[in-house]
Amino acid sequence: MPTKVIQWGTGYTGAFALRYLLNNPAYELVGVKCVTEAKVGMDAGQLAGLAPVGVKATRDGEALLATDAEVVLYMPRDALADPSVPGSASRGWYDELVTILEAGKNVITPLCSGTHYGHLADPQGFLAGLDQACQKGGVSVVFFGFDPGFLTDVLPLTMASAVGEVTQIRTYEVLLYAEYTEAETLRQLGFGVDPQNLPPEGIESLRNLWGGVPYLVADAIGIAIDDIGVEVDVALAPDSFVTPGGMTIDAGTIAGIRFSISGLVGDEQIFVINHVTRMRADIGSDWPTVGEHGGYRVEIDSYPPFVGEFPMALPGGTGSSFTDAMAMTAARCVNAIDAIVAATPGYKTFLDLKPLVGQHTIRLRAPASAR
């Protein structure tokens, strides 16, 4: 029997998740939760760019939780704040997540700040609230996607198993965000902002989102992180322009952000996450690049050294490194469904789940009659 799933959120990642769910007989889509009134009543197939399937989007979360779905793919918009702090701008999704778990639905979500809890203001409160909800509902929750959730943790840890004497692990995301339409989120990060007016919340949001990854990696390799380091550099727009996503970047404002999140043992950077984000391809011309259109890179200082590079926007995909990354984030979530259903109740990381190996993803090109 296919696993019954609710898709909660229909934005960039949610639309790709719908595509993967609808094209996979291992899963049955039983509900779609949308945020905007404009999407209410729209068919899930239409939202995914596919033929209609008869499942309509709704804003009625209670009705969806009353269904017999086993799993919710939870993909709301995040305010990039600390979800462990009551009253924070991100506390809303935390409280909603507790409600979903208590209703007996397993949850997979790419919300970055829950990847681990060690970096949060109230780590034990964050963990205890989710664990209690999971125990009440008899279900599990895991936070992961692509970055974090694969390129920043799963892949480098797997690569590290093929070498010895590791002194540092570095990951790089190098993407063009020009097509991203969420101007509010981009401005919160600092894009389009005068560098003199860069709000401290922008830097803090980077720590909120990716600060958990070094703790997760430390758990995996058996060391203790003493602190998280954050370094930020910006590149300014030489002229004014409008991105394909519709955001205006004025001359002299921030058009590129380069940052790193480090896991520190003493003063040693054991694990470093690097992001290079541009709003136009020529911004930050002396910054790192991957391939022709952007992508990901893993570097391990070890014996012997080990490097992997993964260009995005390859032929046959979305045509955009940013959009490819959103699609892969959705795929990671969908491909974790079997693992989260099989897990014991509680808050989980990928370390607690069975390995994800692309189960149900293979599609034979020739029909059975031709084989």
Please report the pLDDT score of residue 313 as a whole number: 94
pLDDT tens over the chain, length 371 residues: 999 999 999 998 999 999 999 999 999 999 999 999 999 999 999 999 999 999 999 999 999 999 999 999 999 988 889 999 999 999 999 999 999 999 999 999 999 999 999 999 999 999 999 999 999 999 999 999 999 999 999 999 999 999 999 999 999 999 999 888 888 888 888 899 999 888 777 788 899 999 999 999 999 999 999 999 999 999 999 999 999 999 999 999 999 999 999 999 999 999 999 999 999 999 999 999 999 999 999 999 999 999 999 999 999 999 999 999 999 999 999 999 999 999 999 999 999 999 998 888 888 776 666 65
CATH number at residue 120: 3.40.50.720
- Whether residue 147 contacts residue 296, with contact meaning beta carbons closer than 8 Å, is answered with yes
Domain shared by 160 and 260, yes or no: yes
pLDDT of 203 reads: 82
Q: List, in order, residues 6 or more apart from 169 with CB less than 8 Å away.
A: 156, 160, 217, 270, 271, 272, 298, 299, 300, 301
Strands (DSSP E) along the chain, which ranges? Answer: 3-8, 27-33, 57-58, 71-74, 106-109, 140-143, 164-176, 227-236, 241-242, 248-249, 254-265, 268-278, 295-303, 306-311, 346-348
Which pLDDT belongs to residue 229?
Answer: 95
Q: What is the pLDDT of residue 180?
A: 86
- Token pair 């919710």 is at which residue? 72
Q: Are 206 and 261 in contact (CB under 8 A)?
A: yes
Query: Does 333 lie in the same domain as 193?
Result: no
Residue 92 lies in a domain: yes
Parent domain of 45: 3-144+328-352
Q: What is the pLDDT of residue 120?
A: 97
148 prior amide bond cis, ω within 30: yes
Q: 162 and 307, same structural domain?
A: yes
Same domain, 177 and 85: no
Domain membership of residue 186 (yes or no) is yes
Q: How many domains does the chain have?
A: 2
Same domain membership, residue 210 and residue 137? no
**How would DSSP label each residue in 28-66?**
EEEEEE-SSGGGTT-BHHHHTTS---SPBEES-HHHHHT
Same domain for 178 and 313: yes
- 307 and 230 together in one domain: yes
Please indicate, yes or no, whether residues 336 and 273 belong to a single structural domain of this protein: no
Facing residues of 181 across strands? none
pLDDT for 255:
96
User: What is the token pair recorded at 210?
Assistant: 């990716």
60, 155, 171 from 174: Cα distances, Å: 38, 16, 10
Same domain, 167 and 314: yes
Structure tokens at 86: 């009551």
Q: Are 337 and 71 in contact (CB under 8 A)?
A: yes
Q: Give me the amino acid identity at 144.
A: F
In a domain, 357, yes or no: no
pLDDT of amino acid 55 = 98
In this prediction the pTM is 0.94
